[in-house]
Structure 1
Amino acid sequence: MLTKNSRARRAAYPSELRDIMSIDEAERSRTWLSHWEQLNHGPTPLRNLPALASSLNIAQLRVKDESVRSPLGSFKALGAPIALVRLILRIYPERNLDPLALIDGKYADLLKDFTVISATDGNHGRALAAAARSFGCQCVIVLHANVSKEREDAIAAYGARIVRIAGNYDESVEEAARLAAANHWTVVSDTSYEGYQDIPRDVMQGYGAIAAEVLAQANVSPGQPSPYTHVFLQGGVGGLAAGIASYFWEYFGENRPKFIVVEPVQADCLYQSALQGRATTATGSVDSVMAGLACGETSPLAWRFLESSVDAFMTISDDDAVTAMHLLAGRQGDDIAVVAGESGAAGLAGLAVLRASEALSAETDLDASSRVLVINTEGATAPSVYQELVGESHESVLARQAAWLAR
């Protein structure tokens, strides 16, 4: 399903939004993050997939490959640690803490009794657990029933205490808030709610690093047009989309690219928000193979950015996502192979669905001249799930990628 957003604006980036998230603050976060041991050095690759672009009848397709951002395996490595840095700086203003020393764990004695907690579908919790261990904090992660044991083990490997509940993601968010209040812990969540906005803002601000790298890799200078006509962004609660769209919008102003947000049909909270004109909830079961996007409630803070910057919201099926995983794995294609997890392939899946329909392509101005950017937000964060869905291991795909790069 697709809905065009009548509230989308083509104007300068509003000052009221710049006061919340800005390029300047994104760059500050990016500088701090560059010193974290869990991030690989340098920008993630911007893959060119000309054969796939040709098959979709578009001029260009680029994939920003966040699967190699970090040993953590996803873009979430940009959000949780920067939110934790900024949180600790706010808690101890009188100490004049050095952010880089904090990231290096030099205040571990100060923080040894400080505990953070969050609910997660996997990737955010893993990033928060890793950051807490680096900084010297304690960490508790609440997991809902549909988070795999494989993802649980990956989080626990960073020293986090795991709490399991029987419900869904939104119920795990509620349980994290209850435990925090009962134990005087601090919630570090990537979704906002009434009275809780600073930390989700900081998480979103960290994601601006992706947009900054994309523009640098495209050699774009201020005043130049966008190298992309369309940018496809994963949904979830809206944080990634808001972090990237706000950066592009501030940079290009009224000449920003078109933004299309993609989410599972059974976790359609952003699609429903677009229909109703306010942050609202999903109408489906929220149980999707795209675990990182299986969110039932839109983040109200993220919606403040998305309601006026996203041109269209769409939903896809689990089968669409799995098909896109296969396309990126490139078993039979001439393009470089890319390991994309279930949520990571969602942007490409959305593009493929639109290009399969003349009517939907026309509604979103997609044609043979379109230059498209998609974000591969995660690699094989659950290797056994990846192998089951793609029919080969992620190591096999990486071997094919290495062979392509070596030729």
Structure 2
Amino acid sequence: MTDPYAGMVVDAHHACQRGTGSYPATLARALNSHFTADALAIISQWPGYTPTPLLALSGMAADAGVGSVLYKHEASRFGLGSFKALGGGYAVFRLLAQRIEEETGHVPQVADLLAGCYRDITRKVTVTCATDGNHGRSVAWGASLFGCNSVIFVHGTVTRQRAEEIARLGARIVRDPGNYDDAVRAANAAGEANGWLVVSDTSYEGYMTVPLDVMRGYGVLLHETLAQLGNRQPTHVFLQGGVGGFAAAIISGLWEHYGEGCPRIIIVEPENAACLLLSARNGRPSVVSGLHDTIMAGLACGEPSLVAWPYVEGAVSDYLAIPDEAVRVAIRQLAQGRGQPPVIAGESGAAGLAGFLVAATDAPVRQTLGLDGRSCVLLIGTEGATDVQMWESITGRRLERPA
């Protein structure tokens, strides 16, 4: 095939074949299908809920020399353009429901919370978090949906458009000059000082419950995907890295569902923010310092989530670090359609596809991963064009419809 991805594997780490046994009980205690069912029961009552599509990218499969490429397209999720609505919104709901139960002695119904029946309580609550864009947008959306306030911390490289999209949902924006992890610390400090509820998608010592709720919300995505797969079983799953929470949520569902037949799982990260690759190489959670400059804004994270790391370490076979240019090429190819309807994907959303295509054209990596004509590759397109100006600059096209 024509190879626009030649030489784009910046770094790769093979951690041997993981996740080949049954799903460990130690991991299942925190993430399992029962928690997913609970999350689905809540989320399916929200206005606008509908499963996002699973697309077959047959042209890309043929070009890459594999049997099939399946792409879970999250651009339409709740009108926010990203899977993150499932996690941040669900965590906000859980925190507010807990506060309402503490003050009234009653567990609130979803419909009552949506209708503003507990406005006297929720309007006194402020939620806060740090974000690269999508998580903060989901938390602000959840706050707006359920009637509380939000203050969202963005770091120095978050684009103005992403910050403005969050502000349109009613959030107050605070910009921190450092990196994502600095913004996390700033949000935590502000939350403690002001009595705000911190809704972080990453965990650290002493803070595990809320990130787990975020991950349980993400599990709804995998629940939908398994139903859409039917009798098709993926052989390879390429997942975006970040702090690891998204990957851990998908891993837990795959491992529980397939057991010893779990697909080979590969993590894809930006070359400047490959904290999961570094952690795997070091055998412990490790920090990548610096500003993590990358167009993959949602993956510009230097510190793994402690609650997510055991799932990643236990199941992931391989880690890839790729340059921004690989993502630009993937976004353009999706936009071109290649004989199919165009797919609108953002920079982090296309990262899994970019990692797969980079691996498929690098002979040693392809051989290591066992990619061949029988492979069924599953990708999660985690976002649409959440920064329209960025998408238009990459593709040279004008976006005529919402992401």
Q: TM bucket by the smaller chain? A: over 0.9
Give the letter for the 1:374 counterpart.
L
SS at match of 2:365: helix
Q: Is the 8 A contact 1:208 1:243 kept in 2?
A: yes
Which residue of the partner structure matches residue 12 of structure 1? 22
Which runs of structure 2 are paired with 1:5-84 in the superposition (5 Å)?
5-6=15-16, 8-37=18-47, 40-84=48-92
2:186 paired with 1:186 = no
SS at match of 2:341: coil
Task: Tell which deviates more after alignment, 87-96 or 384-393.
Answer: 87-96
Q: Spell out, residue by residue over 1:360-394, the C-alpha distance to the aligned partner (whole angstroms, 9 max, x if none).
A: 01111111110001111111111111101111123
Give the letter for the 1:97 counterpart.
P
Task: Tell which deviates more after alignment, 93-102 or 132-141.
Answer: 93-102
Once the 2 structures are TM-superposed, how far is the Cα of residue 215 of structure 1 from its aligned partner?
A: 1.2
Q: Spell out, residue by residue over 1:310-336, the C-alpha distance to the aligned partner (whole angstroms, 9 max, x if none).
A: 1111111000011110111125x1122
Structure 1 Cα separation of the partners of residues 352 and 35 of structure 2: 26
SS at match of 1:323: helix
Among 306, 311, 317, the residue aligned to 2:312: 306
Which residue of the partner structure matches residue 239 of structure 2? 233
Q: Spell out, residue by residue over 1:330-370, the C-alpha distance to the aligned partner (whole angstroms, 9 max, x if none).
A: 25x11221000000000010011111112101111111110
SS at match of 2:75: helix
Once the 2 structures are TM-superposed, how far is the Cα of residue 6 of structure 1 from its aligned partner?
A: 3.7
Structure 2 Cα separation of the partners of residues 108 and 258 of structure 1: 47
2:117 paired with 1:106 = yes
Structure 1 Cα separation of the partners of residues 181 and 145 of structure 2: 28
Structure 2 Cα separation of the partners of residues 396 and 64 of structure 1: 19
Among 246, 249, 273, the residue aligned to 1:267: 273
Structure 2 Cα separation of the partners of residues 96 and 211 of structure 1: 27
Structure 2 Cα separation of the partners of residues 135 and 264 of structure 1: 35
Once the 2 structures are TM-superposed, how far is the Cα of residue 83 of structure 1 from its aligned partner?
A: 0.9
Once the 2 structures are TM-superposed, how far is the Cα of residue 133 of structure 1 from its aligned partner?
A: 1.0
Q: Spell out, residue by residue over 1:264-315, the C-alpha distance to the aligned partner (whole angstroms, 9 max, x if none).
A: 0000101101101111212564110000110111101110111101111111
Q: Spell out, residue by residue over 1:153-200, the C-alpha distance to the aligned partner (whole angstroms, 9 max, x if none).
A: 110111111111211111111110111111111110000000000000
Q: Spell out, residue by residue over 1:42-90, the C-alpha distance to the aligned partner (whole angstroms, 9 max, x if none).
A: 2111111111100000000111000111211100010011111222233
Gapped runs of 5+ residues in structure 2? 1-10
2:260 paired with 1:254 = yes
Structure 1 Cα separation of the partners of residues 111 and 28 of structure 2: 25
Distance verdict in 2 for CA 1:104–1:396, change over 3 Å = closer
Q: After the TM superposition, which segments of 4 or more aligned residues of structure 1 sit over 6 Å from their partners?
A: none
Which residue of the partner structure matches residue 379 of structure 1? 384
Give the letter for the 2:176 counterpart.
I
Distance verdict in 2 for CA 1:365–1:194, change over 3 Å = same
Q: Is the 8 A contact 2:179 2:291 kept in 1?
A: no
Distance verdict in 2 for CA 1:24–1:163, change over 3 Å = same
Structure 2 Cα separation of the partners of residues 177 and 251 of structure 1: 35
Kindly report the root-mean-square deviation, in angstroms, between the aligned alpha carbons of the 2 structures.
Answer: 1.6
2:302 paired with 1:291 = no
Structure 2 Cα separation of the partners of residues 162 and 253 of structure 1: 43
Structure 2 Cα separation of the partners of residues 99 and 22 of structure 1: 22
Which residue of the partner structure matches residue 284 of structure 2? 278
Among 354, 368, 373, the residue aligned to 1:349: 354
Q: Is the 8 A contact 2:43 2:49 kept in 1?
A: no
Give the letter for the 2:303 counterpart.
E
Among 135, 140, 151, the residue aligned to 1:140: 151
Gapped runs of 5+ residues in structure 1? 221-225, 399-407
SS at match of 2:342: coil
* TM, length-normalised to structure 2: 0.93
Once the 2 structures are TM-superposed, how far is the Cα of residue 30 of structure 1 from its aligned partner?
A: 1.3
Once the 2 structures are TM-superposed, how far is the Cα of residue 35 of structure 1 from its aligned partner?
A: 1.6
Structure 2 Cα separation of the partners of residues 283 and 179 of structure 1: 23
Structure 2 Cα separation of the partners of residues 201 and 178 of structure 1: 20
Task: Tell which deviates more after alignment, 94-103 or 197-206.
Answer: 94-103
Structure 2 Cα separation of the partners of residues 85 and 396 of structure 1: 30
